[in-house]
Structure 1
Amino acid sequence: MVPHYAIVGLGSRAELFARALAGSPRAELAAFCDQNQTRMRVHNEWLGTAVPSYRPADFVVMLEKERIDVVVVCTPDHTHADYVVAALRAGCDVVTEKPMTTDVDGARRILAARRETGRAVRVAFNYRYNPVHRRVRALLAEDAIGEIGSVEFSWLLDTAHGADYFRRWHRDKANSGGLLVHKSGHHFDLVNWWLGSGPETVFAVGRLFFYGEGSGHPDDRFALDVEASPRLRALYHDAEHEDGYVRNQDVFAPGVTIEDDVSVLVRHRGGVVLNYHLHAYSPREGYRVAFSGSEGRLELDVRENEHAADAGETTRARLTRQRQWEPPEVVLDEPLGEGHGGGDARMLAELLGDAEPDPLGCAADHDSGLQALLTGLAANRSLATGAPVAVDELLGEIGEPA
């Protein structure tokens, strides 16, 4: 028999998993769970299905009644731990959107439940499956530039995408852990995966500079016309009457408690140093990653959308290697695929058992989720205290060995 899946949290991200599950011969989409009945109905309409719908209060009842084997968690980040733990203790495996959780207590509870039950927790780090990122991983594994000394990572969110984190529930750090936990979890995981090591010491500085009350930048162009998009209108505007959630909050209104401009310095176990910067108000979107090694340098430059000031340039990636005393070599220069550079489709295929062999270790388990989370949690603590944070202190609070 094929495994039965349930999705909890039926916002826009859930559509990725719902469509894959509904169309797979290797899985049965057996249940939806959300506090908003309208959203569950909309997903069923989109899929042409009649998946049973449950409220969060009946989550455990749903798992038993629908004989659920795997739970996919797509709820707001601060609720991940509650659903992951309940699913594990009900005998289910879990696939959770990143981050695995948002705080030390959530990590402690998830890891304790996983040990107690022996069930699996997978974290949906889709960027690992991006072919360009896989190529970087392979080159580093082959010592293409020798021993790595340092990594420079600059991520730019533009004023379309970046502003969205300040319109939604993510704007409150109590809900999302801030961008260093929510968004940067992608990036910290990539670096951990590329290097094969997690963080040891973290220091961060940052602030809310551009968005938020009193920023001096109010502009109607930052508003999102939810009603102009049939999908957003159906999923959010037409569902507001049930739970009061407003998808398009004012990015310059009170209530923003996350940073929009942050620098993080990380010493990884083994000595490699990461210099990371994120800012969420750029005129263009993309990222640059550079690895400096004993035998040369590897540089990745990615333009992720067409909202840049020089609009019209295709979304693409350029990867260059330059060995000591040699001219630069362009390893690849190509357009990016759809869905996180093609990562979404490959991740879903792997989760549903249709993937190719995984020699690069793309699949991310609870430990990968923890290691990415540790960098974000330590950075948040450093922002609060103004001091470097030893990751072993966090591990001790979580109850995990260093």
Structure 2
Amino acid sequence: MKRYALVGAGMRALHMFARPMATELKDDLVFCGVYDKNPVRAKLLSEDCGGIPVFDHFGRMLKEARPDVVVVASTDNTHHYYIIEAMEAGCDVISEKPMTIDADKAALILEAEKRTGRTLTVTFNLRFAPYFARVKQLLAEGAIGEIDHISLDWYLDRVHGAEYFRRWHAELANSGGLLVHKSTHHFDIVNWWMDSHPSEVHAFGSRRFYGPTRAERGERCLTCEHKSTCEFYYDLTADPIMDSFYLQAESEDGYYRDQCVFGGRIDIYDNMSVNARYESGALLTYSLVAYSPYEGWKATINGRDGRMELENRYGNFDMSQSSNSVIRIVKPDGEVITVEVPSHADGHGGGDQKLRRMLFKGDVADPLGQQAGSLAGAMSLMIGDAANRSIQTGSSVDIDAKAFA
């Protein structure tokens, strides 16, 4: 069995990788080590998973645990460091999305992959969610012909959206902003549906809601004098896991998990609009708002032989629904075809579990190309990185996909 080590001990690392590797996947792999810059979190994750070896240095874990594969689930701006060092040590790598936060770091990763001969896989779980996969299948079967245009609007509610503004994600240097950290999911899905690479991006972005937009704010919720009246008050002590993994771990790194969503440190956007041209000639119109009254997304895909209309609304972070989702296809002669897809499962509509099976068991076929490699990782984050640069300069930004191939 292959040996797997994990870098990162936050909530995504715990729920998506560590617990499953220690339970449902324990007969398929050896979970041989965990490293996090915060030793308290690493120790707690280890205890939660039955006593996985904890290391105080990433290089020491590579040397002593001897993993075949390293799973990278640390903060986004550190992904490139751990990916490259792991590959140079002879390991394959599984990276949580986004692969990294900008074009320069992406180029370093792809160069290291070629140089070392190791393999990088990026975890785009939306590809595995049944609804998104069914759309891909229908497009591949020619349901609406060649794609000319996709319009995608994504909206985060004031619970999910606010989470990004109270965590480390709220600073561009850490996450690349929502256009990289969050939208990389969405851009990857569009790239996958299009079966093409982006070539040009123009974007706008602003902070309209979060950040220093109100006088009643503090450094963090725990000590804020406005917590009794603020609708965004977040009580770290209410959840035992959040209390132990974050509040009790603050002395190690000074990281507050309940930072004020109206804090002055925030420099990412909460309101974004992106236009992109693809190598195929198709166009993308995309928007993301992080303070919507409700959570969900809608899209239209226009092709030479019809139009596909898609929409999901969610009541939770997990994207599960109580009813089936519907794909609506309108043909040029007016015929309307509806396709129902079950969307009841937890874990991003069932995508997480299917992705883990592909990653760690590898016992299922992949006719749709759901497993994503480094080029897919680069192309998805490149749209977000180009969008950030476009917002800053006011000009369109070209993407040369061939330079990354």
Paired residue for 1:54?
55
- Within 5 Å, give how 1:232-247 maps onto structure 2: 232-247=242-257
For residues 163-216 of structure 1, the C-alpha deviation after alignment (integer angstroms, 9 at most, x for no partner) is: 000000000000000111100000000000111111011000110111000357
- Within 5 Å, give how 1:1-400 maps onto structure 2: 2-15=1-14, 16-23=16-23, 24=25, 25-47=27-49, 49-55=50-56, 58-215=57-214, 220-305=230-315, 314=322, 317-332=325-340, 334-392=342-400, 400=404
Which of structure 1's runs of 4+ aligned residues deviate more than 3 A? 215-219, 313-316, 333-336
Deviates more, 1:187-196 or 1:290-299: 290-299
Q: CA shift at 1:9, angstroms?
A: 0.8
Q: CA shift at 1:333, angstroms?
A: 5.4
SS in 2 for 1:13: helix
Q: 1: distance between equivalents of 2:69 and 2:342?
A: 36
Q: 1: distance between equivalents of 2:215 and 2:275?
A: 29
For residues 198-256 of structure 1, the C-alpha deviation after alignment (integer angstroms, 9 at most, x for no partner) is: 10110001101110003578661212212111221121112112111111110011100
Q: 1: distance between equivalents of 2:214 and 2:195?
A: 40
For residues 330-384 of structure 1, the C-alpha deviation after alignment (integer angstroms, 9 at most, x for no partner) is: 2115443211110000000000124421100000000110110111111111111
Q: 1: distance between equivalents of 2:76 and 2:324?
A: 30
Q: 1: distance between equivalents of 2:92 and 2:139?
A: 32
Please report the TM-score for the alignment, with normalisation by the length of structure 1.
0.93
* Stretches of structure 2 lacking an aligned partner (at least 5 in a row): 218-228
Task: Check conservation: 2:273, 2:286, Cα contact below 8 A.
Answer: yes
* Cα 1:287–1:112 shift into 2, 3 Å: same
For residues 139-176 of structure 1, the C-alpha deviation after alignment (integer angstroms, 9 at most, x for no partner) is: 00011012211101000000000000000000000000
Q: CA shift at 1:121, angstroms?
A: 0.4
- Residue-pair matches, total: 388
What code does the residue aligned with 2:28 have?
R
Q: 2: distance between equivalents of 1:142 and 1:216?
A: 55
Q: CA shift at 1:316, angstroms?
A: 5.3
The alignment's C-alpha RMSD in Å is 1.7
For residues 259-313 of structure 1, the C-alpha deviation after alignment (integer angstroms, 9 at most, x for no partner) is: 0000000111111101000000000000001101122111111112259xxxxx8
Q: CA shift at 1:314, angstroms?
A: 3.6
Please report the TM-score for the alignment, with normalisation by the length of structure 2.
0.92
Q: 2: distance between equivalents of 1:257 and 1:229?
A: 28
What code does the residue aligned with 1:42 have?
L
* Stretches of structure 1 lacking an aligned partner (at least 5 in a row): 308-312
* Cα 1:130–1:306 shift into 2, 3 Å: closer
SS in 2 for 1:111: helix
Task: Check conservation: 2:8, 2:74, Cα contact below 8 A.
Answer: yes
Q: 1: distance between equivalents of 2:396 and 2:369?
A: 30
Task: Check conservation: 1:129, 1:343, Cα contact below 8 A.
Answer: yes
Q: 2: distance between equivalents of 1:359 and 1:267?
A: 27
Task: Check conservation: 1:306, 1:315, Cα contact below 8 A.
Answer: no
What code does the residue aligned with 2:388 have?
N
Q: 2: distance between equivalents of 1:326 and 1:341?
A: 31
Task: Check conservation: 2:21, 2:29, Cα contact below 8 A.
Answer: yes
What code does the residue aligned with 1:326 have?
G
SS in 2 for 1:319: strand
Q: 1: distance between equivalents of 2:350 and 2:118?
A: 29
SS in 1 for 2:80: helix
SS in 2 for 1:271: coil
SS in 2 for 1:290: strand
Q: 1: distance between equivalents of 2:291 and 2:216?
A: 11
SS in 2 for 1:287: strand
What code does the residue aligned with 2:264 have?
P
Q: 2: distance between equivalents of 1:191 and 1:7?
A: 29
Task: Check conservation: 1:147, 1:294, Cα contact below 8 A.
Answer: yes
